[in-house]
Amino acid sequence: FTMIKKFMLLVLLSSFLGVHAQSWDFEKPDYKKIEKNIKKENSNFYYSDLMDRFAAADTTLTIEQRRHLYYGYTFQPEYDPYGRSGYEDSLRPMWSKDSLNESDYRTILKFSDSLLKQDPFSLEAMNMQLFANDMLNNNSAVANVSQKAEMIVETLMSSGNGVSKETAFYVINTSHEYQLLNVFGFQFGGEQSLIEHYDRLTLAENEQGVEALYFDVTPCLNHLNQMFDE
């Protein structure tokens, strides 16, 4: 499992540096505007078109289109940020093996594909695919998945830098918080707290000296409230 995590770091850290050293431009997603735009069939933000292009790893998607894709998923009927997949349990035996063979790699691909149908932006599932496809020498698949993973990371990084509530990363699934930590090479410090509509995750000691990262989880909380209202 550690090897798989390291594989994603090798793929993504070539493009991104530690969060504390970054000075990139970012803006908060305007959910109301996004909801309106993705319903326009003749626009560049029509949702089904964006999803089709993402599935094809179309890197010509602009950052605004990627933001509409990721944050617009919260308005799709299949959006379920607190759903737990049984496929994760199916994959767990793989991580306890001393060594993996071709059959194991194909099993990883099968179940990670199923995971991505439930959460199309899961960096963890993409990481599994990167690892298995690399071991099977499926170079075109590695390129496809790595391009999609980078698009998601770039989208998350377009929303903030995470060092405060005011500059929090905006996520649509709390699992994406921990996946982003892995991308940056951070270790979770063991404390998670909900402050208003922000998740605060402490970090283990790191070279950048970052104590914690903040994530805006508004869509997750809204979804939870809707579940209780029904």
Spatial strand order of the sheet with 212-216 comes to 169-170, 212-216, 198-203, 188-195
CB contact at 8 A, 208 and 215: no
CB atoms near residue 9 (< 10 Å): 14
Q: What is the pLDDT of residue 91?
A: 74
Determine the pLDDT at residue 230: 55
Rounded (10°) angle between helices 87-95 and 102-118:
150
pLDDT at 71: 98
Q: What is the pLDDT of residue 8?
A: 52
Provide the pLDDT for residue 19.
43
pLDDT at 106: 94
Q: What is the 8-class DSSP label of residue 186?
A: -
pTM over 0.85: yes
Q: Are the CB atoms for 160 and 170 separated by under 8 Å?
A: yes
pLDDT at 121: 95
Asked whether the beta carbons of 183 and 16 are under 8 A apart, the reply is: yes
**pLDDT at residue 92, rounded to an integer:** 73
Whether 171 contacts 162, CB under 8 Å:
no
Q: How many CA atoms lie within 13 A of 193 on its CB side?
A: 8
- Residue 24: per-residue pLDDT: 63
Give me the tens of pLDDT residue by residue for the chain, a chain 230 residues long.
Answer: 445 555 554 455 444 444 434 456 789 999 999 999 999 999 999 999 999 999 999 999 999 999 999 999 999 999 998 877 666 777 777 777 778 899 999 999 998 998 898 899 998 888 889 889 989 999 999 889 989 998 998 899 999 989 999 999 999 999 999 988 888 888 899 999 999 999 999 999 988 888 999 999 999 999 888 766 65
Give residue 17's pLDDT: 43
Q: What pLDDT does 25 receive?
A: 78
- Relative to beta strand 188-195, strand 169-170 is unpaired
